[in-house]
Amino acid sequence: MSVDYKKLLEKIDKQIEEGPFKDNWESLSKYQVPDWYKDIKFGIFIHWGVYSAAAYANEWYPRNMYIKDSDEYKHHIETYGPHKDFGYKDYIPMLTGANFDADKWLKLFEDCKAQYMVPVAEHHDGFQMYASEISEWNAAKMGPHKDIIGELMNAADKTSVVFGVSSHRIEHWWFLGHGREFESDIKGEFERGHIYWPSMEEPDTHFNTTPANPPTAEYMEDWLIRTCEIVDRFHPAILYFDWWIEIEALRPYLKKALAYYYNAMAKIGRMGVVNYKHDEILQGCAVPTVERGQFADIKPYVWQTDTSTCFNSWGYTVNNRYKEPQDIVCDLVDVVSKNGRMLLNIGPKPDGTITDEETAILQNIGKWLSVGSEGLYGCHTYKVFGEGPLKIEEGMFKDAEAKVFSSKDFRFTVNKGNIYVYALGNSEDGIYRIETFGRKNADDSPKYLGRILKVVLPGTQEEGKLDKELAFEMRDDALEIKCDKKSRYPLVFKLEVL
């Protein structure tokens, strides 16, 4: 494939020069998170790629299958034979997409009340899930022979679901590099654009911003060109970057990517959103996301958590361990009460079908959101996120086990002129005591001096019934609400105030 890289780089520089955003932090600091993004709270992440065809361990299979003596290495040899005869590239035909139906996916997302979606355009493995002019190693020319991202964009355009994409390309620099350590199909030299290019040595740690073997200028230019191709092809409302964009060598190219994206969106009269992790981007220039984790308290800035329906993987495997939908809902409520939103991942099968387990999870979440979203979608935070004995451990990778909330754990939001209280656990006696809305503290200083006129259990929590008014009492030490309803999911109490 003949690509004029110099001409593409000149085009990128020209758009940055002519647009309102320049490739420096001072200019990028003028960015403002759009109101539409502040209002959305629940989205769908999609990890679907060649790793889905391998369907073993997790989406890092392409890296781990080339690490000698790893479980993936042994599994690969036992199942497919030596790496020199059957390598990662040979899984591509197994990603058939025979039953992929973008409209059917979007119907499920709408039914589960998702407000946005972010499919992975290119993962660390280097296989693009869209028709590309940069490389022939893409889903339109191999595997499913379909422009997957393009079809999802077109399907989303028929719905209210906001369309975004993610790029995990930068880690490809080293992701397949272990294949050079023994006799495999990655031995040898590969031209730029090949899925096995460049397959360099992996750093000792992934969180060193100055690795000993940083990407070359040629590779980082390639990363920038691929990023801008995604922007030009799809104008995604959300552009998500995975980690390792934190390396110092990439900073000039990262700033160019941000300026190019913001200028491209401004040109069509829209304001987009960039998601990032760690401190890879200066605070205020984009929206931070926490991988498989949450914050312990309200943040003054808009943020996101990205997590998965599975404990063990982002992509499809035959042994995925799925979470309970009610536990995901509790995390969603906790996140929203702290000024966040949740991007929940699914991993479709290689034929393009969404698993029965994930379909059921999304349907159950959607059923709850038909009521629960009343106090979430478009909401603002209360002055405190909530109360209760369960303390959230802050940081990434904290979702290895489900949290056990009690009837004393509550989360608060403010929406449409009301205060919403979410009870994350059931009360055995039907009495919910919310200390935040008591009249006084122990030292007689005031807690809540507003007047609560009515407490309502939104009616659609019980099919076919209208809102149910609940008995309540404003006491000095707590607001007491009486509610006999039992549910595995959070109960929603709407406080109508004077």
pLDDT digits (tens, 9 = 90+) for 315-344: 999 999 999 999 999 999 999 999 999 999
pLDDT at 463: 54
Residue 464: pLDDT band (50, 70, 90) is: low
Residue 114: pLDDT band (50, 70, 90) is: very high
Amino acid making up residue 436: T
> Is residue 305, in this structure, part of any structural domain at all?
no
pLDDT at 441: 75
Q: Is residue 160 scored above 60 in pLDDT?
A: yes
Angle separating helix axes 102-111 and 356-372, nearest 10 degrees: 40
Give me the domain span that covers residue 448: 398-497
Residue 361: how many other CB atoms lie within 10 Å: 23
For residues 286 and 403, membership in a common domain is answered with no
d(CA 200, CA 13): 28
Residue 440: pLDDT band (50, 70, 90) is: confident
The residue among 255, 275, 291 that closes a domain is 291
Q: Is residue 312 scored above 80 in pLDDT?
A: yes
Dump pLDDT digits (tens) for 73-83.
999 999 999 99
pLDDT at 466: 72
d(CA 14, CA 372): 47
Let me know: does 477 contact 437? Beta carbons within 8 Å: no
Let me know: does 118 contact 166? Beta carbons within 8 Å: yes
Residue 461: pLDDT band (50, 70, 90) is: very low
- CATH (domain of 479): 2.60.40.1180
What is the mean predicted confidence (pLDDT) over 115-126? 98
Reading the block at residue 323, the tokens are 């979470």
- CATH (domain of 127): 3.20.20.80
Residue 460: pLDDT band (50, 70, 90) is: low
Q: How many domains does the chain have?
A: 2
The residue among 291, 314, 342 that closes a domain is 291
Residue 477: how many other CB atoms lie within 10 Å: 13
> Is residue 265, in this structure, part of any structural domain at all?
yes
**Residue 48 CB partners (closer than 8 Å, separation 6+):** 119, 120, 129, 148, 315, 316, 347, 348, 352
Let me know: does 331 contact 76? Beta carbons within 8 Å: no
d(CA 350, CA 340): 32
d(CA 188, CA 196): 10
